[in-house]
Chain A
Amino acid sequence: MASVPENMVDIHQYLDQHQHKELLRFITCGSVDDGKSTLIGRLLYESAFIYEDQLASLKTDSKKMGTQGDDIDFALLVDGLAAEREQGITIDVAYRFFSTDKRKFIVADTPGHEQYTRNMATGASTADVAVVLVDARHGIMTQTKRHSMIVRLLGVNRVILAINKMDLMDYSKTVYDGIVGDYAAFANGQGIDFVAIPLAALKGENILRRGDSLSWYDGPTLMGYLETVPLPVNRRDHAFSMPVQWVNRPDLNFRGFTGQITTGTIAVGDSIRVLPAGTQTRVESIVTFDGHLDRAICGQSITITVADDVDMSRGDIMVGEGHAVVVGQRCKATLLWMSESALVPGKLYWFKTRAKLVLGRIQAPDHLINVNTGATMMGSVMQVNDIGDCVCEWDQPIPMEPYTSNAPLGSFIVIDRDTNNTVGMGLVRSISGQGEWASRHVKERHRHWSQGRVSVTHRVKRNRHKPIMVVLTGIVPRDRYAAVGTAIEEALFQDDIQAYRYGFQFMRQADATESSIGALRQDMFRQLFDIGYAFMDAGMVFITAIRGLTVSECHELKTIVDPFDIIIVDLDGTNGMLQTVCNADVVSADEALPHIQRQLRH
């Protein structure tokens, strides 16, 4: 409990002590009715962070709406929304604050109901420690495992398994040991490091003070543990990185780059690189309202001026020596889907990273993660609250680092362009360059290709038109690809063009030996365009469709069918970036036919 100073000499001591306290952020999570809100109510009450008027209205509310008879219902203190108090459940994260002599705490009380998992993730994304509550009567539930999984995915490595309501199980050590054993079987397989503490939150036992009925337990109380658990390793020891947040340019004489340091430290004179461009420069000064600094550390919000007149703007990232940031346009990420509308693979979404907002697409998940077992399972659709590994791709190269080594630069949110809602969160696992496999494949093909005596040039002369590949793309119903493709094929045929529409859509079913959907799509892609390459080598127009063609696939496509021309027909009007980024020839469905006809005779 935080002791209150007696006099004015003490107040200065107290302030000095408070000023130097460490900050620990933790969340409480677990199944519905495990007593999370009650636990926090207790923590606040016993740390004297409930005021008299709050206590008075709590007593009134407890009689009116509480579930504890004439006793105080501490849950009502935390469940602040009217709907929550009515239904007796927690819908959204509540943030509470208290401090002891040793530490200041920010606690996020997160909802247990599965439909509010996204709110739970909101609380977990900023936490250092997670308190996972379990009802001693029920043991480990699906939600216990789900929350533990989310917590681990978000890099919260310290879990306290708080086994609550021990009073209802006669404080039985056997019950406690059984639950600890069950959880360990799950947690050890997931790499979750945990300590277990038996509690009776309603009675305040093992919260601050030890419970007499739990004499067989000799570990720390919950508060005792929270006060002493080591803070997570500071990102200070990592190489310097800072996204440019805003360029401060009040007049022609000052140009400062503002941001909050995400990792490492920086000092005046240090050499830095600006990503993605890779430009090198030096730190000239570190400017703050409180004067110039010689050095700044992770977490500080600063303004940097640099020695050279380099091009740098919002979204660029400054990095120091020894950094591990990779510039890439494509990554593998673990996604938690948060929208009632399922993920649409290939659809254009906004991605917001710590640095900037970009457009991009997500491929169908390679696999989903079963939160009960932690095992991977096949599945191509991501519904609300699903967790899965997907390939994501952006319309431009961005600097990123895997989440495990640099969380701020390895995380992003996904925003739906129609609703503007945050629909997903992603943690970068690996970043890759583009189209390496396509170049390898072309090399192989050249090595094994046997050229005949009739060349493409002869065929062009005979046919009186060039060979071209026409690719229909967008996210539209399947029959729309067929309708447009068939119409183009027919019109060209009538016009004496050697055209063929290849309408075989679902090769992946035919040859489903590969394990991940990403790999299947790549395989299907390679097969399709190899066939297309052969048709064009035969002098023909090859018409096909690829649902949700991505920027890097477009690069790969160009590599595979080089030297032939490609025309991309944009069926839903979202594929402008294939033109701007890949320099592809993109036309709308309406303009497609005349454009193809012009190009054929070109």
Chain B
Amino acid sequence: MSQSSLIHTSPSSLTHLAQLEADSIHIFREVVAETDNPVMLYSIGKDSSVLLHIARKAFYPAPLPFPLMHIDTTWKFKEMIAFRDHIAADYGLNMIVYTNPDGLERQIGPFTHGSAVHTDVMKTQALKQALDKYQFDAAFGGARRDEEKSRAKERIFSFRSAQHRWDPKNQRPELWSIYNTKKNPGESIRVFPLSNWTELDIWQYIYLEKIPIVPLYLAKPRPVVRKNGMLIMVDDDRMPLSDTDVVETLSVRFRTLGCYPLTGAIVSEATTLPAIIHEMLLTKTSERQGRLIDSDGGASMEIKKQEGYF
């Protein structure tokens, strides 16, 4: 294995990426040392890829001392699922895949039930069910403070009630790098090791560390239709197409990944990481805008988080 290109850029001080990485490793180890049954929530996206990479660094040479869990809504891009299974096999990970059995039976989907119901049943409720089922007392997530304004306020160690609710007005003080992991009965902790990373940091780290990511992040000719002002990729034949829908093949990529019917593509020619970063610096549209969930009201994400959304 080669020496990291990040840390040894200067013999006397750490670059900001090396600092961020070291702080994230510290957080991972702290949780493993102090909680009984942690899990890493794995969304297959770029932030999860970075999270997984840092987790492997934190515990090397030991294997990861906790499982990964993916909440599968059954509407993720096919390439995401293939990537997930490949990574799990390649790294020898214990990957739990959970789908809400009730939602599955009711055949909940974004086209038939709308994005709000779909996200609630297949994502939020599913996550709560899975956390209850496996009795995880701490869950790592890849959320960053620069993503959204209620996340900018969240602690790195964020407590959830037995009902998985977040109380934003009553967060514990979080001082220095000393983390209070004491929980009341039924409480669990969501831990965000990437809190202080920005989108640019994530991309640059992926680039420097050569971290594998889902190819959907890179531009390629893909079949898309225009829905509600967004470019939606026709990923499988569950996509209802009316006579007026036109399937175009455009060179597109995705800035974030989720359920394909809810994730807008952007037209792009960026086929390499530096090209993505270049585009990102020129773009004046923030990352979460490609997601339908955030935009229905100023405090939308805060409310979803209070309800248990990650």
**Interface residue ranges, A against B (CB under 8 Å):** 4-5, 8, 11-12, 14-15, 18-23, 51-54, 57, 61, 77-78, 80-83, 85, 91-97, 99, 104, 106, 118-119, 121-122, 125-126, 234, 236, 245-246, 248-250, 254, 256, 258-260, 287-291, 293, 295, 297, 299-301, 303, 314, 338, 350, 352-354, 357, 407-408, 411-413, 415, 419-422, 425
Contacts and interface: CB of A to CB of B under 8 A. Distances in A.
24 contacts: A18-B200, A20-B10, A21-B16, A51-B285, A53-B289, A80-B153, A81-B153, A93-B153, A95-B145, A95-B153, A122-B155, A125-B176, A126-B176, A236-B12, A245-B29, A254-B61, A254-B62, A291-B2, A301-B29, A303-B60, A338-B173, A354-B177, A357-B34, A415-B182
Contacts of B12: 234, 236, 297
B15 A81 contact: no
A485 B56 CA distance: 59
Counting chain B residues whose Cβ lies within 8 A of the other chain, the interface size class is: 35 or more
B4 interface: yes
A420 B281 contact: no
Interface of B: 1-4, 6-7, 9-19, 21-23, 25-26, 29-30, 32-34, 56-63, 145-146, 148-153, 155, 168-169, 171-180, 182-184, 195-196, 198, 200, 204, 207-208, 274-275, 277-278, 281-286, 289, 295, 298-299, 302-303
Contact of A300 (B7, B173, B277, B289): B7
B172 to A, nearest CB: 5
Contacts of B60: 287-289, 303
> Chain A at the B interface: mostly helix, strand, loop or mixed?
mixed
Q: Which 9 residue pairs spanning A and B have beta carbons closest together?
A: A80-B149, A250-B62, A290-B4, A301-B25, A82-B299, A51-B286, A23-B16, A420-B182, A289-B57
Contacts of A357: 34
Contacts of A78: 149, 152
Nearest to A411: B176
A234 B10 CA distance: 14
Contacts of B14: 297, 299-300
Nearest to A295: B11
Contacts, number: 217
Nearest to A425: B175
B294 to A, nearest CB: 10
A464 B33 CA distance: 55
A81 B169 contact: yes
B175 A297 contact: no
A301 B63 CA distance: 17
Contacts of A295: 11
Given A245-B29, A295-B11, A300-B7, 9 more contacts: A53-B285, A99-B200, A125-B175, A250-B61, A260-B177, A290-B1, A291-B1, A420-B182, A425-B173
Contacts of A245: 26, 29-30, 33
B285 A83 contact: no
B145 A5 contact: no
A318 to B, nearest CB: 15
B35 to A, nearest CB: 12
B278 A260 contact: no
